[in-house]
Amino acid sequence: MKKLLLPILCALPFLSPAQDKPVPPATPQYRLGYHFAPAAHWMNDPNGMVYDRGVYHLFFQYYPDGMTWGPMHWGHATSPDMLTWKEQPIALYPDKLGLIFSGSAVLDVNNTAGFGKNAMVAIFTHHDMDEEKKGTKLHENQSLAYSLDGGKTWTKYAQNPVLKNPGIQDFRDPKVSWNDVAKKWIMTLATKDRITFYSSPNLKDWSKESEFGEKLGAHGGVWECPDLFPLTLNGKTYWVLLVNLNPGGPNGGSATQYFVGQFDGKKFTPLNDKTKWADYGPDEYAGVTWNNTGTRRLFLGWMSNWDYANQIPTSPWRSANTLPRELGLKQVGEEIYLTSQPVKELAKLAPAPRKLTGLTVKPALDLTEKLGLKDNKFMLRMKTLQLNDFTLVLSNAAGEELRLGYDKGANQYFVDRRKSGQTAFHEKFAGKHLTPRLATGPAADVTLYFDATSVELFADGGLSVATELFFPSQPYTNVKLLAPDGLTVNELTFSKLNSSMPTAMKP
């Protein structure tokens, strides 16, 4: 869970609430309708995601006294369906051991830690700012807190930390889960430029098992926010290791890479050394999965990028999360890839979809009247039996436009937000971002989820995924499909998406 220019930030005194910059004018036009965002203030990484008795718990990196990154707390929200969220009181506050950085949460069904049967246990990084200034590299350590009332109140373990830093500058973001083969807890920890695996019988006493990745994968920045979990393909179990990276993403800044391989309870062995990305867009980071969801592997990311996260033009909140996504595996040729699809629960936000068939595009087709686009929260799905060059253009009366499409020559999907609206708040925001097409057949499907200031692209059954932010001065109301060489859209589905949380709900 890295902060932008953390060493520099940590060398400066943080502004007290009274010193925080004035809150900019509110931007209700940018409030998301079916993605979680706090009612106010700063949010980054999702943390401690765990499902317990019908409730999805989402904890998150939170600064309650400002709209830019500051001393980290664990915010808390709950949902019955990952769509309708209710903000809860802050779960974990900074203390004498440090700030509360990223981590995970588990249900200790067998009371291995002794806190109580079915205790909800949070495993997180304590970040000691004073120790960091000394340059000892001992400022990040792993600690515990537990809840016996379903996450409502929390008690920090009196003997924290439970895993002390051996002298590694970046030693954080523990993702813990029970391993049935090893019959113990496994911690997947980000340790500078690699992942280190630890094991424990009781969440309190940890032993180092192995390291992974020093010379594998992308290393354009620090490795962070890892996750390790099994998925099944054609009756065989594989293990997926997520490793978030900042910077060094495929379209600049932060992003989520992954490896597919095997884990024997001690060591992770990848199938090959190919670098793969869970999301090619610039605006998905720190993505990890929920614990305790049975056979479903459910993923959520922070919808921003450290290049410009502190400058995003929203108020009085800053940052949101991606759509929750269900993960799977798919083989293409000799490679096994991670797939990512919006959770099925989203269907309940869509009234009866409008379906058009047999559309011929050459060179252009104006869809404005056919779709009757009057809202900035909608889903659009295109299916074709013969994929060709196309560009979908969304525009408004101000002349702003967002362009999305496919370049057959380069075999890449793209999102171009250079003329999408506000872009001048940071030099790295405007751009045309590319996502390789991993599917090999001529038939294709492209699904787009729009929510006020975000679009998430899921193509070819979730093989190619991209997340983008944009900030138009007014909603896009015109939709045009361009295909200079011709394109037959065999099926086009459009649905308005109802808001599940027009404003974040306080308890």
The residues that are catalytic are 45
> Which residue in this structure is represented by tokens 């919006």?
342
3-state secondary structure of 441: coil
127: left (phi over 0), alpha (psi -120 to 50) or beta: beta
Q: State how beta strands 140-147 and 155-156 pair.
A: antiparallel
CB 467 within 8 A of CB 303: yes
d(CA 410, CA 408): 5
365, two tokens:
């087709």
Q: Which of 459, 455, 458 is nearest to 468 (CA)?
A: 455
d(CA 127, CA 478): 48
> Which residue in this structure is represented by tokens 């293990």?
239
Amino acid at 116: G
Torsion, Cα of 320, 323, 325, 331 (10° steps): -100
d(CA 321, CA 71): 20
- For residue 296, what are the contacts with CB-CB under 8 A and spacing of at least 6? 326
d(CA 150, CA 118): 9
- Residue 222 has a CB neighbour count (10 Å cut-off) of 20
> Which residue in this structure is represented by tokens 């979809």?
353
- For residue 374, what are the contacts with CB-CB under 8 A and spacing of at least 6? 477
220, two tokens:
């354009």
Tell the burial category of 255 from Cβ atoms under 10 Å away from its Cβ (0-12, 13-18, 19+): buried
Q: How far is CA 283 from CA 79, 168, 199, 318, in A?
A: 23, 28, 33, 13
Q: Which residues pair with 194 in a beta bridge?
A: 191
3-state secondary structure of 134: helix
What is the distance, to the nearest Å, from the Cα of residue 426 to the centroid of all Cα atoms in its chain? Answer: 21
Q: How far is CA 484 from CA 272, 370, 408, 416, 488, in A?
A: 39, 20, 12, 18, 12
Cis peptide before 22, with omega less than 30 degrees from 0?
A: no
